[in-house]
Structure 1
Amino acid sequence: MTPPPTIGSGARLAFMSPLSEERANRIVATVAARSPATVADLGCGWGELLLRILAAAPGATGIGADAHGPDIVRARTNAEARGLTGRVSFAEGPARAHLRAADVVLNIGAYQAFGTIADALRVLSELVTPGGVLIFGAEFWEQPPTADRLAHMWPGASPDDCTDLAGLVDEAVAAGFRPLRIETATANEWEDFESGLAAEAEDWIVSHAGHPEAEALREKLDTQRDMWLKGHRGHLGFAYLTLAPHRPPSGQAFPVGSPQQPAAPR
């Protein structure tokens, strides 16, 4: 019997985040225009964005690290298929074990590898070379979740799990960055992402209705769909921040709202 696929493997997704081709192409073009020599993707998944940047910036070399072995296998296979094996390496293991200074550092949906968002931003700020950028992707609350919404989200979901978008950007500034671009995933990107996560398993169920494992898989898919449609849909946002290091002469980041920071325009 054909075994059921793994839910959430991302087999039918280009990216393991709510990221459209249009947005990805813009990020790649913006980064490649800086002519980076080195690119590091920490928490790379299968490294799709890293591979696209290397293809667009032929003078660059890259490294990707992720703790999920199947994703690293997929990344290496894709790199070989695109003729990039001589310019990129993929390491299986915690991102903390593979820190690399680079002209472009990517950390998208993987800040947990370093602890909190603030922890991640502090670590990553030390890796971006002068003149380089960090592409940082993280969740935020589009609006405060109600108790009913939280009850349908991931186990133990709390309002304290995220801040709002302004708070997320403030954390980046406090870590010593300036935001070159602030953008957020659209409803369409979320729908493509959530539907894509489930698509392979949903197709399998339709073709294997009588399989002994079908019922259990249906229950898992229904739970996952409820987490999205009854839980975080319309409440959880995802930001893509293009950040440049900004280090004061003292070597310390300006606290958000400190007198040293210029006043916001009115």
Structure 2
Amino acid sequence: MTSEPPRLTRMRFHGPLSDARAKRLVAGLAATGPATVLDLGCGWGELMLDLLDAAPGAKGTGVDLAADDLERGRRNAAERGLGDRAEFVEVSATGYEHEPADVVLCLGSSHALSDATPPEHTAAALAALRKHVAPGGRVLLGESYWERTPTPVELANMWPDASAGELLPLAELATLSVAAGFRVAWLETVTVGEWEEFEAAYLADKELWLADNPGDPKAAEIAAGVERHRRSFLAGYRGVMGQAYLTLVPVA
């Protein structure tokens, strides 16, 4: 009989983000007194739920195409007493029609807002975010960038067809945000420790399952996938790819 490893149960956020950083970012957004929150490419929308907790009058909508993640978000919302204020919608974020929201979250999901190829998709995503946010509102953008230009060996160890041109340097990301009609009210970047915690949590369910099921017919395939991902991080983008969180304010 074949079993399956559980999926991402050891991750609170689907990205490199510590609880301390999340709490600080949420406090800053909640201080603006939002009534509406829109989370584009939300996954299970954990940061949106944190924000709804911190802003009791707010209602939130999470948008994604991953049905399992959306269902996890609905369960989490119900368990936290937020089921009446959090909605999860299975639809593409590209071209999604919605009244402009007071806070718009886009955390590692700019690719979901445009069909353009990287890095052009970042500019297209920023243009879409500008339309989704209400006047005087806030956008929290979580976006990857190059800490430095990756070497050919590092690129070869990353994801298939990785190229040095598909991410921007941090300075260009900030400049692009201003060009899209925002001011960068706050910018911070994650630590290597946050990356390591995220990557460990990403693989932990599979690693533990492999330890308990070495003879399973799927074990070899799953182990190969784990090894590819681990090598991609450790020999590829660790210390090379960064993650920035930008709090953006639309220019009047």
The two structures have a TM-score, normalised by structure 2, of 0.95
Moved more, 155-164 or 92-101: 92-101
**Of 232, 238, 252, which aligns to 1:233?**
238
Moved more, 94-103 or 136-145: 94-103
Is 2:17 aligned against 1:12? no
Alpha-carbon displacement from aligned partner over 1:100-153 (angstroms, at most 9, x marks no partner): 310000001100112201000001101211111000011100010000000011
Alpha-carbon displacement from aligned partner over 1:176-226 (angstroms, at most 9, x marks no partner): 000011101110100000010000000001111121211111111000101
Give the drift of 1:2: 4.7
**Of 200, 209, 212, which aligns to 1:204?**
209
**Structure 2 unmatched runs, 5+:** 115-120
The equivalent residue for 2:178 is 173
The equivalent residue for 2:250 is 245
The equivalent residue for 2:3 is 3
The equivalent residue for 2:51 is 53
Quick one: distance in 2 between partners of 1:4 and 1:79?
26
Quick one: distance in 1 between partners of 2:144 and 2:202?
17
Quick one: distance in 2 between partners of 1:113 and 1:41?
11
The equivalent residue for 2:72 is 74
Q: Are the counterparts in 2 of residues 28 and 52 from structure 1 also a CA contact under 8 Å?
A: yes
The SS at the match of 2:214 is coil
Is 2:135 aligned against 1:130? yes
Is 2:130 aligned against 1:110? no
The equivalent residue for 2:223 is 218
Alpha-carbon displacement from aligned partner over 1:32-60 (angstroms, at most 9, x marks no partner): 11110110001000010001100110011
Quick one: distance in 2 between partners of 1:114 and 1:65?
11
- Give the count of matched residue pairs: 245
Q: Are the counterparts in 2 of residues 183 and 241 from structure 1 also a CA contact under 8 Å?
A: yes
Letter in 2 for 1:73: E
Letter in 2 for 1:30: G
After superposing on structure 2, the runs of 4+ consecutive aligned residues of structure 1 that deviate more than 6 Å are none
Q: Are the counterparts in 2 of residues 42 and 99 from structure 1 also a CA contact under 8 Å?
A: no
The equivalent residue for 1:263 is none
Give the drift of 1:10: 2.4
The SS at the match of 1:212 is coil
Quick one: distance in 2 between partners of 1:3 and 1:150?
34
Q: Are the counterparts in 2 of residues 141 and 165 from structure 1 also a CA contact under 8 Å?
A: yes
Q: Are the counterparts in 2 of residues 108 and 138 from structure 1 also a CA contact under 8 Å?
A: yes
Letter in 2 for 1:162: L
The two structures have a TM-score, normalised by structure 1, of 0.90
Q: Are the counterparts in 1 of residues 2 and 218 from structure 2 also a CA contact under 8 Å?
A: no
Give the drift of 1:97: 4.9
Letter in 2 for 1:68: A
Quick one: distance in 1 between partners of 2:224 and 2:184?
42
Letter in 2 for 1:105: V
**Structure 1 unmatched runs, 5+:** 248-266
The equivalent residue for 2:118 is none
Q: CA RMSD in A?
A: 1.1
The equivalent residue for 1:21 is 19
Alpha-carbon displacement from aligned partner over 1:222-249 (angstroms, at most 9, x marks no partner): 00101100111110001100000014xx
The SS at the match of 1:80 is helix
Q: Are the counterparts in 1 of residues 2 and 217 from structure 2 also a CA contact under 8 Å?
A: no
The equivalent residue for 1:163 is 168
Aligned identity (percent) is 46
Q: Are the counterparts in 1 of residues 41 and 106 from structure 2 also a CA contact under 8 Å?
A: yes
